Chains A and B, each alone.
Chain A
Amino acid sequence: MHIVYPVVVSALLFSIGVYGVLARRNAILVLMSVELMLNAVNLNLVAFDVWLRDRLHGGQVLTLFVIVIAAAEIGLGLAIVLAVYRNRQSIDVDRLRDLSETGASGEAGPPEEPVGVGEDADREARP
């Protein structure tokens, strides 16, 4: 089988992942598409390793590491999404606009105090 096939599949998979990251509004689905991109890389690596008949199997070793890294990232990503949900009651990526140029200097966002005091409380009220 010529090397081009897996590389093209991997590239397509990568593009799908990119689309997923850009298009989806829900943070968790964005994480899933990131996973997709990382697996595309794994496919690529394994294909090259076999094609090169590399005695050190560098490609497969790197694939293992990538898998581990992906796992770690997803774990951490979910934790962050959880924190966002707890603070903002929504994980819609588009709604997270509090930190921005206009936001910061425009109406100079109010200082952050613990829950129950000042601004944060009423922001929580909003869906």
Chain B
Amino acid sequence: MSWLLLALLAVPLAGAASLTAPTFRERAVSLYGIAVSAATFVLAVVVAAVFDYGDAGRMQLQTDWSWIPGLDLRFHLGVDGISLPLVVLTALLSLLCFVHLAGHPPGGGRLRALVFTLLVLEVGMIGTFLALDLLLFFVFFEVVLIPMYFVIAIWGGRDRRAAAVKFILYTLLGSAVLLLGLLVIWTQTGTLDMVELTARHGAGIARSVQIVAFLAVGIGLAVKTPMWPLHTWLPDAHTEAPTVGSVLLAGVLLKMGSYGFARIAIPILPEGAAALAPWLGALAVVGIIYGSLACLAQRDLKRMIAYSSVGHMGFVLLGFATLTPVGMNAALFGNIAHGLITGLLFFVAGGIKERYGTADMVRLGGGMLRRLPYIGSLLTFACVASLGLPGLAGFWGEMLALLGAFRPAAGLSRPLFLVFMAVGGIGTVLTAAYFLVMLSRVTHGRARETVPVGPALASSEEVRVVLGPGEPVEPDATGTAVADVEDSGPAPSGARPPRAGRLADVTAGELAAWVPLVALTILFGVWPKALLALTGPAVQAIFGLGGGAG
């Protein structure tokens, strides 16, 4: 059955390749996209079905060919308890993105090129989670860069080019440093095979070298899961990316970084991890507080959601920093939960931006629950799930991370991690604060009547005058009718000005893309065993101890 993983990669690649044939009509392209991604999703489900859940710790369905003996790089794929959920999540999110794309083509046009880019993106993402060879992981880790650059640069928002350049340069610097770390591991151990290296638990690498290697690999991965100081590319990339881009960026690309910690950094360099765990924990916790505070003062909805990702991934990194089975379980669960919930958030935010023509909370005014009741309630559901309400997926990731921080691994200083736990707790309160404040600014209050095309405010300065500078003035107080407000440059992102009167509420296409995410969030919230039973044995194997009360 090992050809399954190969097929999982081959189908999207073939789909992308055959797309270059000129015989495609515009309409057929989006259907074609759905077909290919649906096929990939079916394959992913088959892999999940064939997977032997009793022995989730062992690497299954392995294919292992020699690709470049010179670099002794082997085309070694496999899946286990840690990577299976991520693969299925990637396939699902890609499919939902294509479904959403069919109903709501992005502004930049050129749908065929977009479908091609997204399929290549999907190959890169799935490849990263399947690769079991350090260099192969690195290759797939980088395959994602160019497609995501073009998704942001061509179909993005107003100043998309700068955001795309910052994204690709920042991430490339990260992955270059990651490569150095991987090469240090390779020179020390002589092998690139992750399964072998995990089994060795860092034997054969001196402690100081492990620290250097963990630092290099850690920085590379930290850029991708935005750890606090290295996160500034994320808000720009998210704000400018089209809806589909944001969903995949937040839903999957961030997970590749944290997956790297679970698969490479911690299992292969245990002593390095033990030495640097306090720093990782500290930066993670700072990330939580920093992200939450930054969200509290944001004006742009998508930018706020981007910063919320910094906060949530802070919890994931805290889970890793505790170096305990429960911490690792928490991080992996948090990964999946964040993927689902933030994916949904970005879908809804994209829908709002498409309807209102803007994502600026002040110009959205309020009263969305009155004008768009279904979209408003979906936004509320997503925010509540994201702030970690028990019974929804977001809760278990954060709670187990705090549980892990309550009693970290033996070598780590307990009072320090208790401080992290306390600060993390405060972080959850701040997370609740900024989500609810956003909800009360956007969904509550009285809706502003958008007057049909009035005097177009020429420059953004006049908009500032109308809305009042700086401090977001309560829209009700001004009571100004927002004319057909367009910033100076025409926004090629097809941000259609809000149509007069009735805005269309959620469409069938959107519902088809969003309901699976809602269902899965509830499922994993009510029944966390579905995921924990999967990652549990794999995590035990990593920490090399049978039971271990953690």
Do A and B touch (CB < 8 Å)?
no
Residues of A in contact with B (beta carbons under 8 Å apart):
none
- Interface residues of B, Cβ cutoff 8 Å to A: none
